[in-house]
Structure 1
Amino acid sequence: MKRAPSTPARSRNKAFTLIEMVIVMALIGLLLTLAVPRYFMALENGKIKVQQQNLASIRDAIDKFYGDQGHYPETLDTLVQSRYLRSVPIDPLTEKSNWTIVAPIETGSSKELNPASGTDATGNSGAITGVYDVHSVAEVSDAK
């Protein structure tokens, strides 16, 4: 009697079918549409928090300078040179160290000065200089 050659048991291929791949890709796409906006929102919120902390550091240094010197610093670089700040912090929203500087308003005088231009209502220049406060140049900031 002749024996039939033994055939190995049919083994199923261990691979994914096209339909399984499409379903997995669809699920990954769905998860990404939910996760990516939250990721970018978290990045933006982080930048705003860093900006608020940087503004608080600058304002604290201005107050300490005023308490020690009796006048406001002329520029933000004065705070660095006087070692109240190590460096002028960078605004994370603009990625520059440009800040909107608010000059002090003259007290004890009948003349009110516009902090942005340093002039009174008639356009005369006041002798007030210095850095009283800072704001971000970025318009989307809530840190003002």
Structure 2
Amino acid sequence: MRFPAFTWRRGFTLIEIVVVMAILGLLLTIALPRYLHAIDRGKEQVQRQNLAVMRDAIDKFYGDNGRYPETLDELVTRRYLRNVPDDPVSGSRDWVVVASPDGEKPGVYDLAPASAPEAVKPAAATTTAAGGASAATAAAERPSQ
């Protein structure tokens, strides 16, 4: 004999769904910070690569012309760079321009990311340049690459 009130239904119970959601939440709390940290490390790696390419272009410009470029845009117009790259950490086109350590040679001696000014020694006076701004007039040591 069959009782119509006791029919079996297929599907998940509320407790099963809550347990699955709790497990997914736990996995996300572990995985999400690692994912975000990996993205930040990737941006920092791209930033270091951009700095190395721009520093190499500055060195080549100095070797060819016997002087440092007046602006970052001069590296682009003279075809040492295709363009001035954006800082991937801050998302802006601003770079800290460092003058030569002796202060006698004007122009762009070195660069530091505007998002991490601690890359330049604290005693150094610098200006922020987005390609067209003038270079700094104070001396600073070139940070290691």
Q: Distance in 2 between matches of 1:93 and 1:100?
A: 14
Measured against aligned partners, the alpha-carbon deviations of 1:100-121 in whole angstroms (never above 9, x if no partner) come to 0011133xxxxxx4xxxxxxxx
Report what 1:16 is aligned to: 12
Q: Normalization by structure 1: what TM-score?
A: 0.75
Measured against aligned partners, the alpha-carbon deviations of 1:28-66 in whole angstroms (never above 9, x if no partner) come to 000000000001000100110000000001000001101
Answer yes or no: is the 8 Å Cα contact 1:48–1:142 preserved in 2: no
Q: Which runs of 4+ in 1 moved over 2 A?
A: 139-144
Report what 1:120 is aligned to: none
Answer yes or no: is the 8 Å Cα contact 1:72–1:130 preserved in 2: yes
Larger Rg: 1
Report what 1:76 is aligned to: 72
Report what 2:87 is aligned to: 91
- Amino acid of the structure 2 residue aligned with 1:49: Q
Report what 1:129 is aligned to: 106
Q: Distance in 2 between matches of 1:84 and 1:64?
A: 8
Aligned residues: 120
Measured against aligned partners, the alpha-carbon deviations of 1:50-105 in whole angstroms (never above 9, x if no partner) come to 00000001000001101111111000000000000000011011111110001113
* Backbone CA RMSD of aligned residues: 2.5
- Amino acid of the structure 2 residue aligned with 1:132: Y
| Partner-residue secondary structure (3-state), 2:107 | coil
Q: Which runs of 5+ in 1 are unaligned?
A: 107-112, 114-126
- Alpha-carbon distance, 1:141 to partner: 7.4
1:25 to 11, 21, 28: 21
Q: Normalization by structure 2: what TM-score?
A: 0.74
Q: Which runs of 5+ in 2 are unaligned?
A: 121-142
